[in-house]
Amino acid sequence: MSSNIDRQLTPSITFLKIILEDDRNVLIALAKCPEIICDDPNNTPLRNLKFLEEKGLDSSLISRFVLIFPIVLLLSPEQLYVSYKIAEGIGFKKFLCMMSGAGIKFNAYDKILKGFGFSEESCVSLLKRWSPLFFILGSEKLKEKLDFLLEVVDFLTVKKYPYLLCLSLEGRIIPRYEIIHNLQSIGLLQDDEVDFAKVFLMPTSSFLDEYVHNFEVQYGIDMIPDCEDQQRNKDFDFGDYELEEMASFSSKMLDLDPKTITQNP
């Protein structure tokens, strides 16, 4: 029994010591994220470490990143990508300083999520694995987005794709919803033909091709004046950098091929 435990613990602890370079820091990281022990370091942790290295982070910055946010070693590719882009947009040093004192703010978010029906387990998972996302959302913004999204998509969709909460309510979600609603109201789209998670997440160029330009060509109507400018104005709450790259990446969360999204029916 003891030998089995040793075989599981030793590789993970050794892996962390290489990154954190200090036994005390290893203990701090494990206290924050004991799940690291349960994963083979040669799988997800190594993949995520290589991702950070490939993005040009030096060893000291990676060490601090893992110490403050150790679950970064266990994130899915989507979660890791979003966390990295948020940190990059804010600035890594500033981001890590902000993250190190974020506990009180997350307690407030925990109450908000529970108020919308999220279970204790769901709250812990969301706040832990998507904490950079929640960190940049104000409490009121989070409430507004959940109020709207839960009227349009179901609870499980928001839970499965919390990246939806990155999207600007005024600059992306509501304008796209109104375009689709207009198409439905005049009979050009049926309710069961629309997956709103896809609609909100798909890249702007793909959305315009499928739901705006396609109908302009077929029916000679302009659904919303200056739609392209409106859609490209402010798609994401945490900055206007690389919007289409992030949108394209997010579409993969829905198991959609970006090439097929742009094809007109």
For 133-149, write each residue's pLDDT tens digit.
676 677 788 888 899 99
Across the chain, how many H-helices and E-strands are there? 18, 0
Q: How confident is the model at residue 18 (pLDDT cuts 50, 70, 90)?
A: very high
Residue 63 has a CB neighbour count (10 Å cut-off) of 18
Residues in the chain: 265
What are 167's strand-pairing partners? 236
DSSP structural state of residue 202: S
DSSP secondary structure, 150-199, as one string:
HHHS-HHHHHH-GGGGGB-IIIIIHHHHHHHHHHHHTTSS-GGG--HHHH
Helix 23-32 crosses helix 59-68 at what angle (to 10 degrees)?
Answer: 40
Task: Look at residue 69 in the predicted model and tell me its pLDDT.
Answer: 86
Q: How confident is the model at residue 252 (pLDDT cuts 50, 70, 90)?
A: very low
Tokens at 37, concatenated: 């022990």
Q: What is the 3-class SS of 64-86, one letter each residue?
A: HHHHHCHHHHHCCHHHHHHHHHH
Residues 6+ apart with CB under 8 A from 140: none
Residue 37 CA neighbour count, 13 Å, CB half: 15
Task: Look at residue 187 in the predicted model and tell me its pLDDT.
Answer: 83
CA distance 62 to 68: 10
State the chain's mean pLDDT as an integer.
75
DSSP secondary structure, 94-122, as one string:
HHHHHHHT-HHHHHHHHHHHHHTT--HHH
Quick check: 238 pLDDT over 90? no
